Chains A and B, each alone.
Chain A
Amino acid sequence: RKEVEQDPGPFNVPEGATVAFNCTYSNSASQSFFWYRQDCRKEPKLLMSVYSSGNEDGRFTAQLNRASQYISLLIRDSKLSDSATYLCVVSSSGNTPLVFGKGTRLSVIA
C-alpha cells in the first residue's frame, strides 16, 4: 500500500464549480499534513497546512480525520487559475522528509 494515496483525476470542471479532493495516508505516526500545488514543470508550492479542527483559506477548505487517516481539500467557486496538480503531503514530527501523493490534476474550463 502506498504511503499517501489520492484520487487519480484528472478533474475537469467548469468555472465556478466546487471540487473536492480526497487523500488517505498509511502511517498513523504522521503528524503534519499539507496540500501543495504544483504547476506544470515547476516546483511544488504550499497551498495550506491541514489541522485537525479543519481550516479554511478563502475558497479553500481543508479537513483532517485522524481516525480514518483521511485528508480532504475543497475548492469553491473554481477559477481558471486553479488549474494545477494538487499534492497531498504528510510527514512525521521533526525534521523529516515530506511524503507526497501522486497528485490530482485539476483543469478548470471556461
Chain B
Amino acid sequence: GAVVSQHPSRVICKSGTSVKIECRSLDFQATTMFWYRQFPKQSLMLMATSNEGSKATYEQGVEKDKFLINHASLTLSTLTVTSAHPEDSSFYICSARDRSNTEAFFGQGTRLTVV
C-alpha cells in the first residue's frame, strides 16, 4: 500500500527557534497533502492543506506566517514552525490520499516539544 514518511519523529527545541518537518509520499504522487495537529486527548485538527506548486490553504485560526508550508514537488511537503513557543508543543501529522482518493495515509507523526 501507499506509504507516507514523516521526519523527524521527535524533536525538542528551544523557544524562539524554528523547526522543519518533512512529509514524503514514497510510492505515489500527492498533489495535495494535509497537515494536522493533535494535542493530548484531543482529536486531530486540520491545520492546512498543502498544494503542490501553489500556496497552502490554512484553516481559520492557524497563522500562515508561523506555520510555513512548502509543497515544491509531488512527493514532498514541509511544515516549518517558526519562532516556536511552548504552546506549539504538539503532535503534528501529515496525510495524503492516493490517486483513488479513498484511503488516506498518514506519516508517522512528529512530536514537537518546545522548552
Residues of A whose CB lies within 8 Å of any CB of B are 32, 34, 41-46, 49, 87, 91, 93-95, 97-103
Contacts and interface: CB of A to CB of B under 8 A. Distances in A.
B78 interface: no
A98 B34 contact: yes
11 contacts: A41-B111, A42-B108, A44-B93, A44-B106, A45-B106, A46-B103, A95-B101, A97-B46, A98-B34, A100-B45, A102-B43
B91 A41 contact: yes
Contacts of B12: none
Interface in B36-63: 36, 42-46, 49
Nearest to A2: B43
A49 B42 CA distance: 22
Interface residues of B, number: 23
Contacts of B107: 43
The 5 closest A-B pairs by CB, nearest first: A102-B43, A43-B106, A100-B44, A97-B34, A43-B109
B91 A95 contact: no
Given A42-B109, A43-B106, 17 more contacts: A34-B103, A41-B91, A41-B109, A41-B111, A44-B93, A44-B106, A46-B103, A49-B102, A87-B44, A93-B101, A97-B46, A99-B46, A100-B36, A100-B43, A100-B44, A101-B43, A103-B43
Contact of A95 (B31, B43, B111): B31
Instruction: Pick from A44, A87, A93, A99 the residue with the most CB of B within 10 Å.
Output: A44
Contacts of B106: 43-45
A95 B44 CA distance: 18
B43 A43 contact: no
Instruction: Pick from B43, B49, B91, B108 the residue with the most CB of A within 10 Å.
Output: B43
